[in-house]
């Protein structure tokens, strides 16, 4: 074998091994995901050790008084998912699925938020701290400086971690929706405007906590209504999006304390390790509301793609999950309270309270 043929053989072997590594990387990623933190099953009495990550909270031992400065509950009511199988250059199968939650109104979401807040206040007292009224916090001179950064509840948002679909953030009655710049399901544009400026809450709140000696407590909870299981890929023969209406609290949910003991506010977090799921059923009907135009477009796209010898098939499905308001409200309050209690139990486990 001459040098030219030997070089070609080496490059061929190297290329084949490179392909094997890159294709198995997907398998490795899936394996890592499977071996990561397990989903939190709220109806199976999950432990805080398995459910939440908790900072040290050493500052809590010297904390006598707190004030809940934010209690934001974000309700996801629309979702979209896309799946693809095959290579784009050789024709592929595309599936688009979108689903909307119906049968509810703002009054239901507000009631859920108010009930979850009431339950949180009661549970927070188990840490052995006095809870100052929000009106006491709002009376401070610094509060007036922050007001321009606070949103009226409910606050309409789009973007973030949920397929760019719109959602609403609610606060308990009488409280605004302050954003601290780390609410990942809200959207980067909104968060940039919320976190920039000398009067932004994330900058002033640690100063208030330090000067007043009252720790600020911030709760952010994201309620999802449906799971979309996407399957496909470059080397798959089919693409699919499976839809399962199911209430869950996103792992983006978290609880934070501003103790004010350091230049950064002595901020401590409790965060979910993974999404937390409930099993209570709240849907009375799951409707296929795909329009005739969408269906005709699917058929035309499929035929054109086949006849042209390129492109691929395109399928669209639109669904509507009709909720029973009473069942949805009861389930949401139940699971919001369960996650709040898990977070507080995590603090107790960490600090021995």
Reported as a single tens digit per residue, the pLDDT across 46-74 is 999 999 999 999 999 989 999 999 999 99
Query: Confidence band (pLDDT; 50, 70, 90) for 299?
Result: low
Count of domains forming the chain: 1
The string of pLDDT tens digits covering residues 87-139 is 665 667 777 888 999 999 999 999 999 999 999 999 999 999 999 999 999 99
In a domain, 25, yes or no: no
**Cα distance from N-terminal residue to C-terminal residue, the chain:** 76
Mean pLDDT (the chain) is 79
In a domain, 224, yes or no: yes
In a domain, 29, yes or no: no
- The reported pLDDT for the residue numbered 244 is 87
Pairwise CA distance, residues 289 & 77, whole Å = 16
In a domain, 317, yes or no: yes
The residue range of the domain holding 259 is 38-351
In a domain, 30, yes or no: no
| Beta strand residue intervals within the chain, DSSP E | 40-41, 52-54, 65-76, 78-85, 93-102, 130-132, 150-151, 155-157, 167-170, 177-178, 215-231, 240-249, 254-258, 267-272, 276-277, 283-288, 313-323
In a domain, 24, yes or no: no
In a domain, 188, yes or no: yes
pTM score, two decimals? 0.81
**pLDDT above 60 for 304:** no
**pLDDT above 60 for 25:** no
140-144, 146-150, 197-201, 265-269 — which is least confidently predicted?
A: 197-201
In a domain, 9, yes or no: no
The string of pLDDT tens digits covering residues 224-261 is 999 888 877 776 677 777 888 899 999 999 999 999 87
């Amino acid at each position: 074998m001459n040098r030219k043929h030997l070089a070609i053989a080496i490059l061929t072997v190297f290329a084949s091994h490179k392909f094997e590594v890159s294709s198995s990387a997907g398998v490795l990623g899936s394996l890592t995901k499977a071996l990561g933190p397990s989903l939190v099953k709220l109806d199976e009495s999950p432990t805080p050790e398995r459910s939440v990550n908790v900072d040290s909270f050493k500052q809590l031992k010297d904390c006598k008084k707190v004030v809940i400065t934010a209690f934001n509950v974000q309700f996801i009511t629309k979702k979209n998912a896309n799946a693809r199988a095959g290579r784009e250059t050789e024709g592929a199968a595309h599936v688009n699925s979108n689903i909307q939650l119906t049968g509810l109104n703002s009054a239901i979401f507000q009631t859920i938020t108010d009930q979850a807040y009431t339950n949180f206040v009661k549970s927070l007292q188990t840490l052995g701290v006095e809870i100052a009224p929000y009106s006491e916090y709002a009376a401070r001179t610094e509060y007036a400086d922050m007001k321009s950064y606070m949103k009226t509840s409910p606050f309409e948002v789009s973007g973030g971690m949920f397929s760019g679909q719109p959602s609403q953030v609610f606060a308990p009655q009488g409280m605004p929706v302050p954003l601290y710049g780390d609410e990942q399901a809200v959207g980067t544009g909104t968060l940039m405007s919320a976190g920039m400026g000398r009067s932004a809450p994330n900058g002033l709140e640690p100063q208030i906590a330090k000067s007043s000696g009252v720790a600020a407590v911030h709760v952010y909870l994201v309620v999802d209504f449906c799971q979309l299981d996407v399957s496909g890929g470059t080397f798959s023969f089919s693409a699919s999006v499976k839809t399962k209406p199911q209430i869950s609290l996103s792992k983006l949910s978290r609880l934070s304390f501003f103790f004010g003991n350091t230049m950064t506010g002595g901020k401590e977090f409790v965060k979910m390790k993974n999404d937390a799921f409930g099993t209570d059923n709240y849907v009375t009907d799951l409707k296929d509301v795909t329009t005739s135009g969408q269906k005709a477009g699917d058929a035309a796209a499929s035929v054109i793609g086949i006849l042209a010898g390129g492109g691929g098939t395109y399928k669209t499905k639109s669904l509507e999950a009709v909720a029973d308001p009473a069942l949805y409200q009861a389930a949401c309050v139940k699971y919001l309270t369960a996650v709040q209690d898990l977070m507080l139990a995590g603090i107790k486990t960490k600090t021995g309270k």
